[in-house]
Amino acid sequence: MSLDLKGRLIKKLPIVSGEGRNGKWEKQDFVIETDDQFPKKICIGLWGDSIKKLENMQEGDKLTVSVNVESREYNERWYTDVKAWRIQRDEESQGLPPIPPEAQVDEPLSAEDDLPF
């Protein structure tokens, strides 16, 4: 299953590596928060050379991430992986500093801001 997820990059996790039967492997997870009415945090993994796609991304960047979702069974338990295969920074967020959530709240107008009509 392939999906496109839109959200703000909130955390890059450290690169993890190991040795398997197919040789050496590297993985890096990152977390985005969706822009939905009820935002969700989603941890997404990158494997191998795809880790380089995350290097130029900064926390706070708005991203569109194309992912594959797959579940597998091991010892009668199910595990689900969300793996990115494409990451794009949304143009509106390029070059802008991250906006902290507390700064995104609209302040009510004071009496001094009232319009004359």
Q: Look up the CATH number of the domain holding residue 57.
A: 2.40.50.140
Residue/partner pairs of 94-102 with CB below 8 Å, 24 or more apart: 94/61, 96/60, 97/60, 98/8, 98/58, 98/59, 98/60, 98/61, 99/60
Structural domain contains residue 28: yes
Instruction: Tally the domains of the chain.
Output: 1
112, two tokens: 């001094």
Residue 43 resides in a domain: yes
Q: Quick one: pLDDT band at residue 2, thresholds 50, 70, 90?
A: confident
Residue 104 inside a domain? The answer is: no
- Asked if 25 contacts 47 with a C-beta cutoff of 8 angstroms, the reply is yes
pLDDT digits (tens, 9 = 90+) for 34-63: 988 999 999 999 999 999 999 989 999 999
CA distance 28 to 51: 6
pTM score: 0.72
State the Cα–Cα distance between residues 52 and 60, nearest whole angstrom. 18
